[in-house]
Structure 1
Amino acid sequence: MVVALTPYAAATAVLPLAAALLTRCWQPVAAAVAVAVAFAAFLLPRALTDAPPAPAPDGPTLRVLTLNMALGRADARTVVELVRTTGADLLSVQELTPDAARALAEAGLDEPLPHAVVDALPGASGGGLYSRYPLTALPGPTRYEPAMPWAGVEIPGAPAVEVVSVHPFPPLGAAPAREWTAYLEDLPRAEPAGTVRILAGDFNATHDHSAFRDLLASGYTDAAAAVGNGLTTTWPARGSPGLVLDHVLVDTRVRTARTGVHPVPGSDHLAVLADLVLPGD
């Protein structure tokens, strides 16, 4: 997990450069400059808007919201109100407990999002997908305790779309790190010539992790990074150091119009909202 602190290490890159300049020796200066440039080349693209794909997609817009419910403690009324005020078409939730699922239903989530594929479980293992459009549950890997709800979404005017709610347990220690890596490896790869896929959730991973970059390399784009918000932290909701653990990934045929984050009382994660322009059917 220390790797996730890379942006903070990058921010201190000017300090060894300043110290090297004080030595008046060019070799340490050159080394410090090289390190600073490497950090900048790796991190700055996350804060720069990508050029839209060519040709730009001309299909419907899908508004995706994802939230870690923090062991089901996130305030259900706030979640439903956030869905209504943002006009979210699809909600991906992690750490969805049976009590939290009932609370969302009692708060009226089925009115704006009447379709659901839910695997509510105690503790941090549950997850769910709620949608304005019809959902069809799809089989995914079952060897992990964290739920991986996976569904096809029928969106008028768009080709076949699949969405996965993502939540591997964090890699805190050798054994959890192996499970975390295996979970990320078992996520569906992008198929730029096939089904449009959206992965949304708490990845417990940042761009600084090679396993996450391998997933992106299959043909995904991080929605926040595509619009220059790739360094906007999502955890913890308050305090520091903040990390970018929650993501919405889309394949390269999808254009991200905008992203944003929203606090939800009771959750230690910020909700991530992404407006996605899908390819036409």
Structure 2
Amino acid sequence: MDSVTANPATEPEAEAAAEAGTHTRGRRRRRGTAWSGGILLSGVSAVLGFRLADSDGPTPVPQLLAFLPWLLLPTATALLLTVLARWRTGMVWGVAALGLLAWYMEPYGNTDAPKGRAVAELRVMTSNVEYDRETAGLLRAVREERPDLLFVEECDHACSATLREELPRAEYPYRASVDAYGPEGSVLLSKVPLKRAPRIPATLGMPAAVADVKGHPVRVQLAHPMPPMPRQVGLWREELGKIREYAAAGEGRSTIIAGDFNATQDHAAFRAILDAGRLRDAARLDGSSRAPSWPTAVPSPLGAQIDHVLATPDFSARDARFLEIGDTDHRTLVVTLTLHRPEKER
């Protein structure tokens, strides 16, 4: 009877081959995981590079900069992937990217208290009603908050007429506006006297005035530059530049600029406005520098703060709140500003 004898070397060789195959597959998986982490880190690093260079860059950088804090998610994911892949260089890269993001999430600008005594208080409200879609909600907010200065963006003819009818002239006797259809219309209403001033020429209406606040002149300007759409980044940058020029022209005079800036503190063009006019963001002064104002379609922790009230250092700020007023894609910002003056100026 024939018999078959097993080769004693067969089993160890088979085990070694299986082990080598498992090692190869594991190495391939780690390589794929490392590549995935590297791709994520490359994208985040590209955006961070423009932030580091104080530049808004081309599309899609300005759009991504608007949501800079949320780059923490892909960065943390990338770091986890580099750990799983045992890729040390990637781990260092991921930690550095997280550190830079954390650094840039800090509020921009100083919060030094104004010098001198308080001489006047102004309740300021800015609201983008999105083509008159939520003028009724704005009216409810106005009646509850009773602002002294009201900046309304995307207020078309119907919105403007409604404000005239529903807000008594005895309550808001002063007005500066750009009357137009669609998003081009804007209205500035005031309880304090307004003197007409040249407005910033732009695609969307940006009326301006000089307010008399208990005998102190205060430059007031509504801001509403074009958004950074993919084919309009140059126009967006140009119109923010015009607001920067207005801010710089104040040369230390009391100034308030409020509205829908279509920009966050992570945009170089917006920071240039703050620096040029030595302006401070009122929400930042009150500890709400990252509270989102747009879009309302996403939960409150998400989104970006593109609606601002900016003021010169002679103003302090308190009670800043972002209100949901109804069927508009922006939250309404309301804040109390207090004007301070040194003894010799009172």
TM-score, normalising length: structure 1: 0.89
With over 3 angstroms needed to count, the CA separation of the structure-2 counterparts of 1:139 and 1:50, relative to structure 1, is closer
Query: Is 1:154 paired with 2:215?
Result: no
Choose from 116, 119, 131 the match for 1:71.
131
Tell me the distance in 1 between the aligned counterparts of 2:197 and 2:338.
Answer: 23
With over 3 angstroms needed to count, the CA separation of the structure-2 counterparts of 1:192 and 1:106, relative to structure 1, is closer
1:96-118 Cα shifts (integer Å, max 9, x gaps): 11111111122125343221111
Query: Is 1:28 paired with 2:90?
Result: yes
How far the C-alpha of 1:261 sits from its partner, in A, is: 1.0
Q: Does the aligned pair in 2 maintain the 1:50–1:228 contact within 8 Å?
A: no
Q: CA RMSD in A?
A: 2.2
Tell me the distance in 2 between the aligned counterparts of 1:274 and 1:191.
Answer: 25
Partner of 1:217: 275
Tell me the distance in 2 between the aligned counterparts of 1:61 and 1:190.
Answer: 24
Q: Does the aligned pair in 2 maintain the 1:162–1:196 contact within 8 Å?
A: yes
How far the C-alpha of 1:193 sits from its partner, in A, is: 5.5
Tell me the distance in 1 between the aligned counterparts of 2:86 and 2:176.
Answer: 63
Equivalent residue letter for 1:121: A
Tell me the distance in 1 between the aligned counterparts of 2:139 and 2:169.
Answer: 9
Choose from 177, 181, 198 the match for 2:233.
177
1:133-153 Cα shifts (integer Å, max 9, x gaps): 0111101333x2211100000
Q: Does the aligned pair in 1 maintain the 2:257–2:310 contact within 8 Å?
A: yes
Equivalent residue letter for 1:102: A
Within a 5 Å distance, the mapping from 1:110-125 to structure 2 comes to: 110-125=169-184
Equivalent residue letter for 1:67: S
1:243-265 Cα shifts (integer Å, max 9, x gaps): 21111111222111221011222
Partner of 1:268: 329
How far the C-alpha of 1:86 sits from its partner, in A, is: 1.2
How far the C-alpha of 1:56 sits from its partner, in A, is: 5.9
Within a 5 Å distance, the mapping from 1:70-219 to structure 2 comes to: 70-76=130-136, 78-142=137-201, 144-156=202-214, 159-174=216-231, 176-187=232-243, 188-190=246-248, 194-218=252-276, 219=278
Choose from 68, 74, 81 the match for 1:6.
68
Equivalent residue letter for 1:160: P
* Same amino acid, percent of matched pairs: 28
With over 3 angstroms needed to count, the CA separation of the structure-2 counterparts of 1:67 and 1:2, relative to structure 1, is same
Task: Please state which structure has a larger fraction of its residues in helix.
Answer: 2
- Long gaps (5+) in structure 1: none
How far the C-alpha of 1:57 sits from its partner, in A, is: 5.2
Partner of 2:118: 58
Q: Does the aligned pair in 1 maintain the 2:114–2:315 contact within 8 Å?
A: no
Tell me the distance in 1 between the aligned counterparts of 2:331 and 2:185.
Answer: 18
- Long gaps (5+) in structure 2: 1-62
Number of positions where the alignment pairs a residue of Structure 1 with one of Structure 2: 275
Q: Does the aligned pair in 1 maintain the 2:114–2:340 contact within 8 Å?
A: no
